């Protein structure tokens, strides 16, 4: 992409409404625009990041055996009356009427609808286990939206729903998602820690919030230092290995970890002082088992091997990709701007033509741009007639992981300057060595 033809409305000054760093940087980097309280338009740069996050989430869901579908944003009130939640949900639910005065709602979540879909087709235990998910916009009419994408009213959510014959099966389904989440956040370049969450109506130990560590995170978290070093399961993890998966989950849940509202100072004090970690974090995922809470009232039943119909045991698993865009920035930025992890960067490489209009630099940049494009690398070529300093500032602000600086100085020596945004390191490399580095 040529910057001169891209739509990148960056700002030098900070809009006053933006309070937290991710919100400020997203506005300054031209990633999104507020259209109403808690409602945002994604501009091209922001959309690129959102799509990359979404794709990683999708790949890890698929790897764990979940199957993607897509449910609508608008739902019928009748469905929610069946579960009893239409009245229970409260004002957070956006309720609307169609032209025939039928009561509808903009879905804040999809347990009812997925249960309706399940019961329409699945009759036998032989079709279990089943895990269906979608990535769809949700709307929750929060009293007070704030912090930009971190707490918007409209947000993108990946929500998965598992169906099993019994609780033992449900535990395995839960564990699959648990491990999938560990892998997902690791791939996004984040350090995530599962923390025991309010167990809800069912009780038990099958509810966890996934918190990522970020110095500017909104909640305080306390955990055992060992969490920072536990290896995340590799891509070859066997999701059908019930025992193996359980031991991974055990490893990730045996030590102390809690957010401030669940914090037990005494228990935390038991940990030796050098192993205590008090940090800040952001909730980016939540998984829980809720048994037959919806299957019972909504009659989602299957016949077991004994021929007897039983309500299925369900769990649900949420990740907010739109919140993750902001969360990643909170976890990875500096005074100059965003530092995207390579996996989610809107562009992997930026080419900075330091002397636009000079035939030697133009030729070198154009050629190199074509070479990278030919290799299938996401590259943003700054071919604007801005001065060098302005181009450096822009590239740093929007956080492109690799900046290839091409100017008369380097060209005289036959080299490009390659800067790594993550640590600011630079080296002068020949064009061939640069290509080599970027395609490694």
Q: Using the rule CB under 7 A, is 319 a contact of RNA?
A: yes
Candidates 41-49, 62-70, 235-243, 408-416; binding stretch for RNA (CB under 7 A): 408-416
What residues numbered 123-162 form the site for RNA, per CB under 7 A?
A: 140, 142-147, 149-153, 155, 157
Q: Write down the least CB distance from residue 324 to RNA, Å.
A: 9
Q: Closest CB to RNA among 33 and 348?
A: 33
Q: Using the rule CB under 7 A, is 400 a contact of RNA?
A: no
H or E segment to which residue 394 belongs: helix 388-398
C-alpha span between 327 and 234 (Å, rounded): 23
Q: Closest CB to RNA among 112 and 311?
A: 112
CB 47 within 8 A of CB 32: no
How far from the centroid of its chain's Cα atoms is residue 145's Cα?
19
- The CA radius of gyration of the chain, in Å to the nearest whole number, is 24
User: What mask, x for binding RNA by CB under 7 A, covers residues 322 to 351?
Assistant: xx------------x---------------
Q: Write down the least CB distance from residue 377 to RNA, Å.
A: 21
Buried b (16+ CB within 10 A) or exposed e, 209-232: bbbbbbeebeeebbbbeebeeeeb
Q: Write down the least CB distance from residue 48 to RNA, Å.
A: 19
Q: Write down the least CB distance from residue 277 to RNA, Å.
A: 21
Q: Closest CB to RNA among 64 and 411?
A: 411
- Applying CB under 7 A, among 405, 429, 435, 438 the residue interacting with RNA is 405
Compute φ and ψ for 385, nearest 5 degrees: -95, 25
Q: Closest CB to RNA among 330 and 396?
A: 396
Burial (CB < 10 A; 0-12, 13-18, 19+), residue 120, is: exposed
Residue 349 DSSP code: E
Q: Write down the least CB distance from residue 209 to RNA, Å.
A: 6
Q: Closest CB to RNA among 107 and 152?
A: 152
Candidates 12-20, 164-172, 289-297, 365-373; binding stretch for RNA (CB under 7 A): 12-20
How far from the centroid of its chain's Cα atoms is residue 148's Cα?
15
What residues numbered 202-261 form the site for RNA, per CB under 7 A?
A: 209
Q: Closest CB to RNA among 291 and 337?
A: 337
Sign of the four-CA dihedral 104, 108, 109, 111: negative
- Applying CB under 7 A, among 10, 242, 301, 422 the residue interacting with RNA is 10
Going by C-alpha positions, the residue among 346, 324, 326 that lies closest to residue 181 is 324
Q: Using the rule CB under 7 A, is 390 a contact of RNA?
A: yes
Q: Closest CB to RNA among 88 and 243?
A: 88
- Applying CB under 7 A, among 3, 257, 329, 354 the residue interacting with RNA is 354
What residues numbered 271-310 form the site for RNA, per CB under 7 A?
A: 283-286
Q: Using the rule CB under 7 A, is 2 a contact of RNA?
A: no
Candidates 11-19, 67-75, 176-184, 372-380; binding stretch for RNA (CB under 7 A): 11-19
C-alpha span between 378 and 1 (Å, rounded): 8
Pairing of strands 416-420, 276-291: unpaired
Number of residues this chain uses to bind RNA (CB under 7 A): 60
Q: Closest CB to RNA among 269 and 414?
A: 414
User: Residue 150's CB: how many other CB atoms inside 10 A?
Assistant: 24
CB 353 within 8 A of CB 148: no
H or E segment to which residue 95 belongs: strand 94-97
Q: Closest CB to RNA among 51 and 310?
A: 51
Q: Using the rule CB under 7 A, is 12 a contact of RNA?
A: yes
Give the contacts of 240 (CB within 8 A, at least 6 positions apart).
none
User: What mask, x for binding RNA by CB under 7 A, covers residues 25 to 54?
Assistant: ---x-----x-xxx----------------
Q: Count of residues for the chain? A: 440
DSSP-derived 3-state class of residue 79: helix
Q: Write down the least CB distance from residue 131 to RNA, Å.
A: 18
Q: Using the rule CB under 7 A, is 408 a contact of RNA?
A: yes
Pairing of strands 276-291, 219-224: antiparallel
Q: Using the rule CB under 7 A, is 434 a contact of RNA?
A: no
Give, in order, the Cα–Cα distances in Å from 311 to each of 75, 112, 166, 298, 301: 23, 14, 9, 9, 4
Note the maximum CA span of the chain: 81
DSSP-derived 3-state class of residue 250: helix
Where on the chain is the footprint of RNA (CB under 7 A)?
10-17, 19, 28, 34, 36-38, 140, 142-147, 149-153, 155, 157, 209, 283-286, 318-320, 322-323, 336, 354-355, 357, 387-390, 392-394, 396-397, 405-411, 417, 419
């Amino acid at each position: 992409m040529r910057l001169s033809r891209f739509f990148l409305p960056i700002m030098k000054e900070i809009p006053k409404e933006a309070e937290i760093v991710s919100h400020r940087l997203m506005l300054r980097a031209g990633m999104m625009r507020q259209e109403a309280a808690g409602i945002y338009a994604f501009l091209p740069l922001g959309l690129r990041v959102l799509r990359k996050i979404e794709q990683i989430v999708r790949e890890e869901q698929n790897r764990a055996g979940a199957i993607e579908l897509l449910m609508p944003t608008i739902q019928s009130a009748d469905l929610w009356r069946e579960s009893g939640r239409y009245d229970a949900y409260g004002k957070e639910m956006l309720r609307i009427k169609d032209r025939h005065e039928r009561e509808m709602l903009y879905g804040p979540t999809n347990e009812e609808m997925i249960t309706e879909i399940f019961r329409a087709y699945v009759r036998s235990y032989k079709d279990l286990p089943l895990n269906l998910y979608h990535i769809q916009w949700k709307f929750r009419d929060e009293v007070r939206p704030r912090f930009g994408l971190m707490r918007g009213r409209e947000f993108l959510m990946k929500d998965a729903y598992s169906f099993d014959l019994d609780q033992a099966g449900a535990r395995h389904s839960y564990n699959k998602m648990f491990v999938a989440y560990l892998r997902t956040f690791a791939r996004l370049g984040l350090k995530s820690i599962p923390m025991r969450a309010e167990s809800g109506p069912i009780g038990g130990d099958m509810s966890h919030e996934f918190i990522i560590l970020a110095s500017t995170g909104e909640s305080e978290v306390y955990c055992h230092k060992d969490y920072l070093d536990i290896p995340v399961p590799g891509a070859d993890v066997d999701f059908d290995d019930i025992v193996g998966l359980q031991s991974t989950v055990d490893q990730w849940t045996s030590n102390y970890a809690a957010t401030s509202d669940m914090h037990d100072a005494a228990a935390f004090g038991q940990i030796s002082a050098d192993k205590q970690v008090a940090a800040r974090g952001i909730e980016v995922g939540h998984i829980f088992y809720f048994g037959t809470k919806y299957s019972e009232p909504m009659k989602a039943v299957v016949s077991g091997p004994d021929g007897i119909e039983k309500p299925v045991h369900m769990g649900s698993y949420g990740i907010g990709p739109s919140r993750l865009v902001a969360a990643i920035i909170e976890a990875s930025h500096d005074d100059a701007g965003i530092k995207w992890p390579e996996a989610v960067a809107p562009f992997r490489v930026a080419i900075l033509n330091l002397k636009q209009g000079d035939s030697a630099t133009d030729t070198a940049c154009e050629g190199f741009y074509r070479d990278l494009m030919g290799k299938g690398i996401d590259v943003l070529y700054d071919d604007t007639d801005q001065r060098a300093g302005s181009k450096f500032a822009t590239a740093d602000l929007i956080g492109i992981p690799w900046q290839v600086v091409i100017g008369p100085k380097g060209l005289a020596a036959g080299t490009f300057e390659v800067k790594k945004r993550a640590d600011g390191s630079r080296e002068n490399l020949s064009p061939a060595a640069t290509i080599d580095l970027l395609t490694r």
